[in-house]
Structure 1
Amino acid sequence: MRLTHAVALAVGVAVAASVAFGASVARAADPGFTRFVAELWPEAREAGVSRATFDAVTAGLEPDYKLPDLILPGRPKTGAPRQAEFVQVPADYLKEARIESLAAHGRTLMQRYRPTLDAIERKFGVPATVVLAIWGRETDYGRYKLPYDAVRVMATQAYVGRRKDQYRTEFILAMKIIGEGAVTRQEMRSSWAGATGLTQFLPSEYYKHGVDFDGDGRVDIWHSVPDALASAAQQLVNKGWQSGLRWAYEVKAPTRADCTEGVPEVTKPIGQWLREGFALARPDRLSAAEREQLTSLLQPEGIYGPAFLTTKNYFVIKEYNFSDLYVLFVGHLADRMTDPRPFATPWSATKQLRTTDVEAMQRGLERLGIYRDKIDGKAGMLTRAALGAYQKRAGLQVDCWPSEAVLRSIQAAR
């Protein structure tokens, strides 16, 4: 690919900076890691990385064995980090003060970037509030400084991570991004998992969904707000976003509702849910098209706390981060930018089981033939539904919420 003079100059600056950066972090050599990185050169060349960029980016590079999700020979396996989405109860994750603070700043940014946001909405069909909410949740609208060296993270994960093949590709694409001058080596900061930029993309996502929305000739999700927000919108569209469709409807469930129906596979028109006794949490007039919209039931705290009828767009946002609480945070934050009201039903003061206890519960439910998904310690939709199915079988109160009492019952069951 031919580079313009400006881009070529940027590449030169990036490579020179990379050499200086590599020298500054040089440590005692790790022969195995050094050999592994060197052997990636043919793949990097095939992907379009120049030799100069490869040498500059990898100069002095050493692994970070303190990262989570690694498999280190001779050492205990390092598990995935305790992500807030999976270890906090909803009330803690969706703190009202935090939501309102982000919504207030989002309203300010909506005015500041109004022409850009209007253009994004016209082009992609994704509301301004949704892309702003993703930006707010991912990096606090750019105010949160990502703590990790993205290249080092991806190289380490490619070497000894649980998902080596995936990160081998991400590491090579990260070098390609730097070589193209989109961002310097120093500026490519990330989360522990390598997601980078204002709206948190892996390098492969950058190439799949990145958009040059400010028209300067490059996709810059690190400094350009138009590029970052348009890229987030493009990712949602590429994953199936439907224009004009809400992400969810908050509802009140009837006392006779079956919480085991709260799985993506069970879909019904909103009108049918209403006929079965569900009611919109706040009075609203639905159009005929809305009443025919297929939705799934979501009860994040089982029969306690708020309930939602989730649309296809709910699951599109969930592909950005595979967590119900994440989607609730983004969706609710988006709504709060135009409607100041919190959820109509408050969260209950439920206690969250430890990850190891949820894993034990999943194994028990699997042993009993009720649960057939991943053993990951995350009490998501499928785990809650399986738990409810066990409660039915055991003659217990069916609340679809993991508790110590239900765990003991499952462990004792034969």
Structure 2
Amino acid sequence: MVAAGIVLAAALLPDAAMAADAGFTRFVASLWPEAQQAGVSRATFESVTAGLEPDYKLPDLLLPGRPKTGAPSQAEFVQVPADYLKEARIEALAGHGRKLLSQYGPTLRAIEQRFGVPATVVLAIWGRETDYGRYRLPYDAIRVMATQAYVGRRKDQYRTEFILAMKIIGEGAVSRQGMRSSWAGATGLTQFLPSEYYKHGVDFDGDGKIDIWNSVPDALASAAQQLVNKGWKPGVRWAYEVRAPANADCTQGRPEVTKPIGQWLREGFVPARGERLNAAELAEPASLLQPEGIYGPAFLTTKNYFVIKEYNFSDLYVLFVGHLADRITNPEPFATPWAATKQLRTADVEAMQRGLTRLGFYDDKVDGKAGMLTRAALGAYQKSARLKLDCWPSDSVLRAIEAAR
């Protein structure tokens, strides 16, 4: 009866789905020579791929006969800052971070001494990525990476990640069942892709293996090593909150516009809480960041800001991590409250980017994300059209751009 049920169920499946799954099985089998060359044993390959099925519900896939599916809208790009950086959430994470700062004190001090990355920064990354390990990642990492390698939009990247994931399991760092991930395959307490594991992973607890899934010392040291490998500058803060002068030009808020912090202060920017900076701080190059245009807080961002941004390419992500790191040792929230109550939909931001491209103000990706370059281009258009200069994407400015010739 069971066999008859399986046959009947198979008969009811669409031919395309059955063909696709057969194709998936052949695709996985075809990877053996590459896996072998990468150091994966035959036993590991067979064990990891046994019974493996694709997950066609994942985002970012290119499936025959179906519309293209993009990556899901990340909160970093569709929420206003006040929603993404909820005070209650930040304070709750900071409170737990204080306990962990004490619990893992010797380890964190050793990490800071070896890598030059503050303990609070690696704690904040851990808190943001997996709620200090309390959040269980929802996906089977092997299934995710195999599916993305087969029908994803970034097949070549995930082909490599899938093979490296098998290698990690074969080396005994984590079990097949223990390798859980996000929908995009990031895994471990501090969310690494397998290639990042091999580039940045550190055995900090000295047990002979790099375990970013269960070993807090290994996971936090690996996060610190990744920041160092991306250019972390010891002794430099991630950013300074400032108050912008009334005549500030928000179109300067681009990564390539850098000035010594002292120069920004001479131009009228003022540390938000009146702190006095030393000579080294005043000489540090920084860029202006105004996440809500002329509304809400403003920041002078150092090189380390952009190093954290390579962990997740979002200004709000860096603000979350940086502010959480500060809050672990300083209970004060941002000096200036967030002001925006509405964020344009992704499709509207894309329309704005296309319009700004057509008018010659924007030459970057049309991705629906209102980042630093989009806001600066928007401000440049506002200046040319003699509109209010606020560098903030709104319905009224979108209408003006669409009507402009």
Structure 1 length-normalised TM: 0.93
Maintained 8 Å contact 1:269/1:293: yes
Maintained 8 Å contact 1:262/1:385: yes
**1:67-109 residue CA offsets vs partner (Å, 9 max, x unmatched):** 1111111101111101100110000000000000000000000
How do residues 47-58 of structure 1 correspond to structure 2 at under 5 angstroms? 47-58=38-49
Query: 1:231 corresponds to which residue?
Result: 222
Maintained 8 Å contact 2:292/2:340: no
Amino acid at match of 1:89: V
Say if 2:150 is the partner of 1:150.
no
Query: What secondary structure, in the 3-state scheme, does the structure 1 residue paired with 2:276 have?
Result: coil
How do residues 65-80 of structure 1 correspond to structure 2 at under 5 angstroms? 65-80=56-71
**In 1, Cα distance between the equivalents of 2:29 and 2:247?**
62
State the superposition RMSD in angstroms.
Answer: 1.0
Query: 1:395 corresponds to which residue?
Result: 386
Query: What secondary structure, in the 3-state scheme, does the structure 2 residue paired with 1:296 have?
Result: strand
Say if 2:399 is the partner of 1:408.
yes
Shift of 1:28: 6.8
Shift of 1:349: 3.1
Query: 1:128 corresponds to which residue?
Result: 119
Query: 2:132 corresponds to which residue?
Result: 141
Query: 2:192 corresponds to which residue?
Result: 201
Say if 2:144 is the partner of 1:117.
no
Say if 2:158 is the partner of 1:167.
yes
**1:263-284 residue CA offsets vs partner (Å, 9 max, x unmatched):** 0000001111011111000111
Maintained 8 Å contact 1:298/1:310: yes
Query: 1:10 corresponds to which residue?
Result: none
Query: What secondary structure, in the 3-state scheme, does the structure 2 residue paired with 1:156 have?
Result: helix
**1:319-374 residue CA offsets vs partner (Å, 9 max, x unmatched):** 00000000000000000011100000000033100000001110111111111101
Say if 2:342 is the partner of 1:354.
no
Query: 1:252 corresponds to which residue?
Result: 243
How do residues 359-398 of structure 1 correspond to structure 2 at under 5 angstroms? 359-398=350-389
Query: What secondary structure, in the 3-state scheme, does the structure 2 residue paired with 1:342 have?
Result: coil
**In 1, Cα distance between the equivalents of 2:379 and 2:333?**
28
**In 2, Cα distance between the equivalents of 1:122 and 1:290?**
21
Say if 2:294 is the partner of 1:298.
no
How do residues 293-332 of structure 1 correspond to structure 2 at under 5 angstroms? 293-332=284-323
Maintained 8 Å contact 2:190/2:220: yes
Query: What secondary structure, in the 3-state scheme, does the structure 1 residue paired with 2:120 have?
Result: helix
**In 1, Cα distance between the equivalents of 2:178 and 2:316?**
30
**1:215-252 residue CA offsets vs partner (Å, 9 max, x unmatched):** 00000000000000000000000000011000000000
**In 1, Cα distance between the equivalents of 2:356 and 2:285?**
29
Shift of 1:395: 1.0
Shift of 1:50: 0.6
Say if 2:246 is the partner of 1:289.
no
- Unaligned runs of 5+ residues in structure 2 are 1-16
Q: Which runs of 4+ in 1 moved over 2 A?
A: none
Equivalent of 1:42, from 24, 27, 33?
33
Query: What secondary structure, in the 3-state scheme, does the structure 2 residue paired with 1:230 have?
Result: helix
**In 1, Cα distance between the equivalents of 2:217 and 2:280?**
33
**In 2, Cα distance between the equivalents of 1:386 and 1:164?**
33
Maintained 8 Å contact 1:71/1:162: yes
**In 2, Cα distance between the equivalents of 1:402 and 1:349?**
11
**In 1, Cα distance between the equivalents of 2:272 and 2:137?**
38
Query: 2:201 corresponds to which residue?
Result: 210
Shift of 1:257: 0.4
Number of matched pairs: 388
Query: What secondary structure, in the 3-state scheme, does the structure 1 residue paired with 2:329 have?
Result: coil
Shift of 1:382: 0.3
Query: 2:73 corresponds to which residue?
Result: 82
Maintained 8 Å contact 1:301/1:350: no
Structure 2 length-normalised TM: 0.95
